[in-house]
């Protein structure tokens, strides 16, 4: 699985919005504290039953709080045949720090 920095993920989403999906795998309570508006939100434990909501043709960037859960989801997606998968290094924390200061940090 490949890693992608928050800055590189933001650039990819900006440059190729129709070809890129930011997948936030955090729990709903976490989203109430901090979220990226353009992300698709599917909690980690719901990924297997909601696979059909994730476009296999897109580059998928998995994100969680700091990168641990999203790394597991990225590996799972690869095992299910997804080809263009990245884990967002540092998660929403890195996004808030490096991309959008308006996103509230959770730490």
For 29-72, write each residue's pLDDT tens digit.
998 888 898 899 999 999 999 999 999 999 999 999 999 999 99
Tell me the pLDDT tens digit for each residue of 1-38.
799 999 999 999 999 999 999 999 999 999 888 889 88
Is the pTM above the cut of 0.85?
A: yes
Classify 56 as helix, strand or coil. coil
Determine the Cα–Cα distance for residues 44 and 96; give it in Å rounded to an integer.
Answer: 21
Question: In CATH, what class is 2-98?
Answer: alpha beta
Q: Is the predicted pLDDT of residue 106 greater than 70, yes or no?
A: no
Q: For the chain, what percentages of helix, strand and coil (3-state, to nearest 5) are there? A: 40, 20, 40
62 is catalytic: no
Q: CB within 8 A of 92, min separation 6: which ones?
A: 24, 26, 30, 34, 35, 36, 63, 64, 65, 66, 103, 105, 106
Q: Which of 64, 77, 85, 99 is catalytic?
A: 64
What is the rounded distance in angstroms from the CA atom of residue 38 to the CA atom of residue 76? 22
């Amino acid at each position: 699985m490949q890693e992608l920095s928050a800055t590189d993920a933001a650039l990819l989403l900006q440059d190729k919005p129709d070809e890129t999906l930011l997948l936030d795998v955090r729990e709903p309570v976490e989203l109430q504290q901090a979220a990226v508006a353009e992300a698709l939100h599917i909690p980690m434990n719901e990924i297997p039953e909601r696979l059909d909501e994730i476009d296999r043709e897109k580059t998928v960037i998995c994100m969680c709080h700091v990168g641990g859960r999203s790394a597991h989801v990225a590996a799972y997606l690869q095992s299910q045949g997804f080809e263009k998968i990245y884990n967002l290094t540092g998660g929403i924390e890195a996004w808030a720090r490096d991309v959008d200061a308006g996103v509230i940090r959770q730490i």
